């Protein structure tokens, strides 16, 4: 009789353990597939810069998918820069990806970097892979840049000139690739 009572208990524990291990395998598999994406290498920056003549924050942030840090204020100047604040949970951010790809293809003299904002690293890497983001990203998981950039929602796209001075800010979607390219032409060529 005691064996009959323990049998369902043992079966239940085995079933629960099997379900738990299957879930762990699934998460690992999704993460493994995401990390096969050739995550763009973060640009080199001067991590010691504490103040700057640019409009970029002096704060070393970890590079998404890499064991490096990037200080946005320490990025080299000389080319215009587009900064995209994005997150895996931001539906519009996914819609913006084709426009960033088009900008990277059209403007050879342009730097792009992303700031993955208030996100989980595994979700961010998976989204970067799925969306084929054409730029490296730094991570601001704890919203350290919220007050600097006055972030109230995503996406936010910032366009800087070759000296690091802010030229334009787009709160929300950047539009179709054609619309974004035309906008970049007008901002960068004025």
pLDDT recorded at residue 161? 96
Average pLDDT estimate for 37-56: 86
Greater confidence (110 vs 14) lies with 110
Reduced to 3 states (helix: H, G, I; strand: E, B; else coil), residue 172 is: coil
Residue 125 has pLDDT above 90, yes or no: yes
Of the candidates 14, 47, 25, the residue with the CA atom closest to the CA atom of residue 138: 47
H-run or E-run covering 43: none
What percent of the chain stands above pLDDT 90?
72
Tens of pLDDT, residues 128-162: 999 999 999 999 999 999 999 999 999 999 999 99
Tens of pLDDT, residues 52-101: 788 999 999 999 999 999 999 999 999 999 999 999 999 999 999 999 99
Residue 5 has pLDDT above 60, yes or no: no
**DSSP at 111:** E
Q: Are 111 and 79 in contact (CB under 8 A)?
A: yes
Greater confidence (184 vs 37) lies with 184
Q: What is the C-alpha separation between 84 and 93, in angstroms, rounded?
A: 9
Query: 3-state secondary structure string, 44-94?
Result: CCCCCCCCCCCCCCCCEEEECCCCCEEEHHHCCCCCCEEEEEECCCCHHHH
Greater confidence (30 vs 5) lies with 5
Residues paired with residue 137 on neighbouring β-strands, in sequence order = 114
Architecture of domain 40-188: 3-Layer(aba) Sandwich (3.40)
pTM for the full model? 0.80
Tens of pLDDT, residues 164-188: 999 999 999 999 999 999 999 999 9
Q: What is the C-alpha separation between 16 and 7, in angstroms, rounded?
A: 14
pLDDT recorded at residue 63? 96
Q: What would you measure as the largest C-alpha separation in the chain, in angstroms?
A: 87
Average pLDDT, the chain: 84
Q: What is the C-alpha separation between 47 and 45, in angstroms, rounded?
A: 6
What percent of the chain stands above pLDDT 70?
81
For residue 34, name the pLDDT band (cuts at 50, 70, 90). Answer: very low
pLDDT recorded at residue 154? 97
């Amino acid at each position: 009789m005691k064996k009959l009572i323990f049998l369902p208990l043992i079966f239940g524990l085995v079933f629960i353990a099997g379900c738990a291990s299957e879930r762990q395998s699934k998460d690992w598999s999704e993460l493994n597939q995401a990390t096969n994406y050739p995550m763009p290498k973060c640009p080199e920056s001067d991590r010691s810069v504490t103040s700057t003549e640019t409009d970029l924050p002096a704060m070393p942030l970890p590079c998404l998918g890499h064991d490096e840090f990037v200080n946005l204020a320490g990025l080299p100047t000389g080319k215009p820069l587009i900064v995209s604040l994005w997150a895996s949970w931001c539906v519009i951010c996914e819609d913006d990806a084709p426009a960033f790809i088009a900008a990277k293809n059209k403007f050879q003299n342009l730097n792009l970097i992303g700031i993955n904002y208030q996100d989980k690293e595994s979700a961010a890497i998976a989204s970067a892979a799925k969306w084929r983001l054409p730029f490296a990203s730094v991570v601001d998981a704890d919203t350290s840049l919220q007050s600097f950039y006055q972030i109230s929602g995503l996406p936010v796209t910032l366009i800087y000139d070759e000296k690091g001075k802010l030229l334009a800010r787009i709160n929300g979607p950047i539009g179709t690739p054609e619309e974004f390219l035309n906008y970049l032409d007008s901002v960068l060529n004025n």
